[in-house]
Structures are given as structure tokens and as C-alpha cells.
């Protein structure tokens, strides 16, 4: 269990939403939150992040975000829930997966931490509406892996 990930992610709560940013307190988007926690947990980011649009290549049907997550995070079965998991969401049927969050609590009061467009980094209930959108679950690698 990686509760240290949850502690790091919660420090970002209140950071304003800012597309393509990854600066705690100043602004980030959902990927920026993951990037910031990575830096705090592991160190330097593993690859440069190219500019990206808010649609994440949806018109082309290209799973850019999913492939990047699979390169650097450890894939987990969807049913193996743990605090600190990185969650990948598909926001609409047949759309590309383009939202990320970090599992905060599991069980009946499940929650996740995410940067939500038009808002800020927040911890939201992981209720049925969000849960049915999860398409992949990952764990951060252990430093030095």
C-alpha cells in the first residue's frame, strides 16, 4: 500500500486547474498532478511531456495518455484497489481515456484526488458515476526500479 502517494497528492488540493501545468499551488491539470507526485516520490520525470490538447487526440481515437501511463507506471488489475493507485478514466463511451486521478480512500467511502477542469485539485467521492469510467489502474514504481 502506498499511502505516501496519497499524502503527497493531498498536498496539491486547492491548486487551481491550469491546462498543461504541473506546479503545486500555482496550477496543474490531471496529468500535472500525476507528474508532480512522481517528482516528489521518484525524482525527475522519465520523459519530456509534449504539448497536448484538452481532447487528448480524441478525434483520432489515439490512446496517447494510456500508452504513456503504461510505459512508466505498473499496470494493475482493476479489482486490486489500493490507496495511491493512479486511475485512468474514459469520460464518455467510445472516447479516448483522458482523465487521471489518484485513489485516496477505498471501500464504502472511496475517494480520488484529481484536477478537474474549471475547478482545482480536489478529493471527490469515487461513486458509481466515476467508478464506471475507470478503464485502467496503475501503481507508481518504487524509486530505483
Q: Check pLDDT > 50 for residue 1.
A: no
pLDDT in tens, 99-109: 999 999 999 99
CB 16 within 8 A of CB 115: no
Contacts of 138 (CB under 8 A, 6+ apart): 69, 70, 73, 74, 75, 76, 85, 86, 88
Q: Where are the domains of the chain?
A: 3-139
CA 137/CA 129 separation, integer angstroms: 17
pLDDT in tens, 15-43: 999 999 999 999 999 999 999 999 999 99
CB 114 within 8 A of CB 30: yes
Q: What's the first-to-final CA gap in the chain, in angstroms?
A: 17
User: pLDDT grade, residue 2 (50/70/90)?
Assistant: low
CA 96/CA 77 separation, integer angstroms: 19
Q: Options 1.20.1250.20, 3.40.50.300, 3.90.1720.10, 3.40.640.10; which CATH number does 3-139 get?
A: 3.90.1720.10
Contacts of 93 (CB under 8 A, 6+ apart): none
Return the DSSP state at 11: T
Amino acid at each position: 500500500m502506498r499511502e505516501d502517494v496519497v499524502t503527497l497528492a493531498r498536498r496539491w488540493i486547492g491548486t487551481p486547474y491550469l491546462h498543461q501545468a504541473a506546479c503545486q499551488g500555482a496550477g496543474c491539470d490531471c496529468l500535472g498532478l500525476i507528474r508532480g507526485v512522481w517528482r516528489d516520490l521518484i525524482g525527475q520525470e522519465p520523459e519530456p511531456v509534449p504539448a497536448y490538447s484538452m481532447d487528448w487526440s480524441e478525434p483520432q481515437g489515439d490512446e496517447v495518455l494510456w500508452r504513456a501511463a503504461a510505459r512508466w507506471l505498473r499496470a494493475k488489475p482493476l479489482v486490486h484497489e489500493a490507496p495511491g493507485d493512479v486511475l485512468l478514466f474514459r469520460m464518455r463511451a467510445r472516447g479516448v481515456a483522458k482523465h487521471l486521478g489518484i485513489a485516496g480512500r477505498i471501500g464504502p467511502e472511496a475517494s480520488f484526488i484529481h484536477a478537474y477542469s474549471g475547478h482545482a485539485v480536489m478529493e471527490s467521492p469515487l461513486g458509481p458515476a466515476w467508478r464506471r469510467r475507470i478503464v485502467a489502474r496503475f501503481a507508481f514504481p518504487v524509486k530505483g526500479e
